[in-house]
Amino acid sequence: MLRYNNIFIIVIVIALTAGCKKEEVPSAGNLIDNYSFEENGVFSTSGWIINNAEFSTLVPENGGDFSIKITPALFPAEGTADFIVLNLNGNKTLTAKCKMNVFGGWTGKVQLLQQIDPEVTNVIASFEGLDNTWQDVNLSANVTFEADDVLILRLSAGSSISPLPLQFVLFDLVELEIN
């Protein structure tokens, strides 16, 4: 009987781990804990402010089990996932990286934004992609922040006056480093 219990346990362990995909490890300086939109094997947007976003199981190589799927919002709103960094002051070097895949002939966008006050937001760096394949996005910039400025890393599917279900953007393996 003990022998069959051991075999049963081994089969259960194999079954539980068989569906898990290898997930790339983020760089040591990455500020984003939830860089692959999953925690403990479950889709998560913890640490992100989202609009028109849900999960997808389409992932890049080494992207784990989930990516975030963002659809265009009804104009003038925007389908986004924002990661916010507060309390920056002085000269900073910013580096942002991610994987992006665009569907339905749409445009996906990754931006580094500096919000000076609720009425003024400056685009520090931006990338727009149209490719229906996992593409590498790399942004970098040198910026001077004042004490109350806010840094926003924005993943976007934009807006539309008539969003279509097959128009969306996937993002995964997001990194943000500040030096």
Amino acid at 26: P
User: Which burial class, exposed, middle or buried, applies to 37 when counting CB atoms under 10 A from its CB (0-12, 13-18, 19+)?
Assistant: buried
User: Which burial class, exposed, middle or buried, applies to 174 when counting CB atoms under 10 A from its CB (0-12, 13-18, 19+)?
Assistant: buried
The pLDDT of residue 179 is: 92
For residues 119 and 84, give the distance between their C-alpha atoms in angstroms, rounded to a whole number: 16
Q: Mind listing the pLDDT tens digit of every residue in the chain (179 residues)?
A: 545 454 444 333 333 333 444 445 555 679 998 999 999 999 999 999 999 999 999 999 999 999 999 999 999 999 999 999 999 999 999 999 999 999 998 999 999 999 999 899 999 999 999 999 999 999 999 999 998 999 999 999 999 998 788 999 999 999 999 99
The answer to whether the beta carbons of residues 112 and 96 sit under 8 Å apart is yes
The answer to whether the beta carbons of residues 132 and 96 sit under 8 Å apart is no
The pLDDT of residue 20 is: 46
The pLDDT of residue 14 is: 36
The pLDDT of residue 76 is: 92
In sequence order, the β-bridge partners of residue 88 are: none
Q: For 23-178, which CATH class?
A: mainly beta
In sequence order, the β-bridge partners of residue 83 are: 153
The pTM of the full predicted model, rounded to 2 decimals, is 0.84
Q: Coil, strand, or helix at residue 166? A: coil
Tokens of 76: 């003038």
The pLDDT of residue 29 is: 79
DSSP 49-82: EEESEEEES---TTB-S-EEEE-PEETTS-EEEE
